[in-house]
Chains A and B, each alone.
Chain A
């Protein structure tokens, strides 16, 4: 048996630091929103000419007077991703860019992907993304509240916030792009983290019924250990699947799978080190559970 409970305090401190750091990052550095949420134009192009590189592309885009833009390699040696922030994109802006590019660098381009999101749509997408995440947190809170006592509900939600905030904090720290698929990843993280917490909580509740003489501090530790191999195996198989998406699933899914990997790691950690210490702090005992049973 591993004494997880010995480190409750230490890891709580670490978690608190990480959360505060993440909030500060989100507040001061902010998130790197992609075209989905900020509006603008995204072009993925493949060049058939080996001489074309980021620098030459940047030069020709500079000439086009498009305002802020960003050129980078995208996976493959000949693939590039260009993001243009210009808001007042007229209907034929993309055609003009295509023409300009071909005239300045020669006509050996393949426009693999073009996305153009107007400011109205992007702000709607952002709004619905935020609502979706808030709604899922609320739904989880409600579900756990029905299935368990409020102390459990609070613990699970704090664990969720912990995971979501730290994942977003890391995205901010490394300036990783937030797009629609990241919202999907965050929601899945919420589901996964909850899943993991619920399994341990289920065992805590079962043990609370069984043992009246063991303090919650010990009891959580027993429950964590009893479910530990499951926790490890499920995290491992999920991570195996995610790492496979990250490595082989193509550039477009990289951000999504990375967010999920972070989420699974933090979700697993928080269901041990956030969800359980909360129960200890809230002095959950057999009475908490029995009250529920007699009602």
Chain B
């Protein structure tokens, strides 16, 4: 139909103007722009660090098994059931009971209200799978028991990572879960992630334990190295205090020794325990253990009841600041490994933007010149459409506050090249129809109708590729798939609403013209 209602013309114009304003708002200060939305720049364009952390859940699993072993020991003792050989082997808890008790013990483990083997209603599974052979009980973490461990350590780790990153005070960090054992940290504007990496690389598990010479300590002992690696000491496994009892920690200068120390404040429980331990242990060495290494092991001279104390240990001001930060933000449930790191400096990001913009302008110019020489008036129409299409594309990316990456800019340029395709298909078809049909208006209409299937098929195939790329691709490549996909929709809209209207208006005015196109 070649009749375009006034309403339609007005609507299409309004929509176009709307998007031009939105697209333009990216180039203005946020105060005076039309809307407050802007396209986000990806890390590759604004510079920044991308860190992918993997949680090493091995230690957590072992911890879980150890805790459960203690629970089982106490539980069975409580019920006056004799058992032998309770041990952990290959991530399995194994123990034996006598024939008479086997039945009873089994019911304890399979009870849905069980305390020793919790039942997860949402998974319809216990934490441990139970296997019994000749009265030997074998407990293995069930599939869902493992998932539970992973998700809970991921949740905890996410919180701690967030606190640590926030403490450093970087600009709008982005911290997200990935899978069930990974955490993604995006730090825009950060060009040297060294400090963050070293902060995230420590679990910061702090304990206060007595140094002992006595192998027969009831809680067991272990040999631990000093932080500086020079010597070792035997330390009791009994934990007097741990990091959870800390209320605050700050770096400080000790005026007497002129040393940098970390001073800490304990909570009520911690202060009470610390007071008790220091009063009974005068003369003993108290080891301050961080992540399995002794930071220092001062000799207790006096009871400390105030709940304040200091950790000394050859700190520089920076390392004391970092340790205080780690202690304030709490311990990670498990060690984190950095398995992927990408950092782009701000000047490279700016260079990429500049290069991208230049490539876009030149590409756009080349296509416009080509189209104008090829199709003259119709080329002009295609070019106007292309320009408005660009505004649509940028406008939609702005509205959704999409993230623009370097490949994303490439996607926009590619859209410029491919967007004319639909118009070319239509124009070529109209040209063909004009050869057979004297009436320009009919030729024009048939041209649009007959080219439709090819245009739709052709665009859907590109859309399929873009969608797959979106779901399978990562980071910058995702940005490319977004611009490519949005570009397809804006192209179809601009071709069928704007170009069609403009060509229609032109054809109606030149009904009688031969060699219309």
Q: Which residues of A contact B (CB under 8 A)?
A: 44, 91-92, 94-95, 110-118, 120-121, 125, 128-129, 131-132, 135-136, 139-140, 143, 147, 180-181, 183-184, 187-188, 190-192, 194-196, 198-199, 202-203, 206, 226-227, 229-230, 233-234, 236-245, 247-250, 252-253, 256-257, 260
Contacts and interface: CB of A to CB of B under 8 A. Distances in A.
A234 B197 contact: no
Most buried by A among B52, B340, B371, B462: B340
B76 interface: no
B469 A132 contact: yes
Contacts of A199: 425, 454, 457-458
Nearest to B472: A132
B414 A241 contact: yes
Interface in B336-359: 337-345, 347-348, 351-352, 355-356, 358-359
Contacts of B352: 250, 252
Contacts of B461: 140, 143, 191, 194-195, 198
Nearest to A118: B339
B362 to A, nearest CB: 5
B370 A249 contact: no
Given A132-B468, A203-B454, A240-B363, A91 B348 contact: no
A229 B370 CA distance: 13
B407 interface: yes
Given A198-B461, A249-B355, 14 more contacts: A92-B197, A112-B344, A113-B342, A121-B340, A125-B474, A128-B473, A139-B468, A183-B473, A191-B464, A196-B458, A238-B417, A238-B421, A241-B367, A256-B407
A183 B477 contact: yes
Interface residues of B, number: 73
A110 B461 CA distance: 43
B164 to A, nearest CB: 15
Contacts of A192: 418, 462
Which 7 A-B residue pairings sit nearest by Cβ, starting from the closest?
A241-B417, A191-B465, A244-B363, A250-B355, A132-B472, A118-B339, A249-B359
13 contacts: A111-B192, A115-B341, A128-B472, A136-B464, A187-B465, A190-B465, A191-B466, A233-B370, A237-B417, A241-B367, A242-B414, A249-B356, A253-B407
Contacts of B191: 111
Interface in B27-63: 44, 52, 54
A230 B424 contact: yes
Contacts of A121: 52, 339-340
B490 interface: no
Contacts of A136: 464-465, 468-469
B131 interface: no
Contact of B476 (A140, A180, A187, A190): A180
Interface string B428-462: 10001000000000000000001001100111111
Contacts of B464: 136, 139-140, 143, 191
Interface string B360-373: 10110011001100
A240 B409 CA distance: 15
Given A199-B454, A248-B355, A250-B355, A240 B465 contact: no
B109 interface: no
B8 interface: no
B474 to A, nearest CB: 7
A113 B48 CA distance: 10
Most buried by B among A180, A206, A239, A249: A249
Contacts of B194: 92, 94-95
A184 B473 contact: yes
B481 interface: yes
A229 B459 CA distance: 19
Interface in B365-417: 366-367, 370-371, 374, 406-407, 409-410, 413-414, 416-417
B462 A181 contact: no
Contacts of A230: 421, 424-425, 428
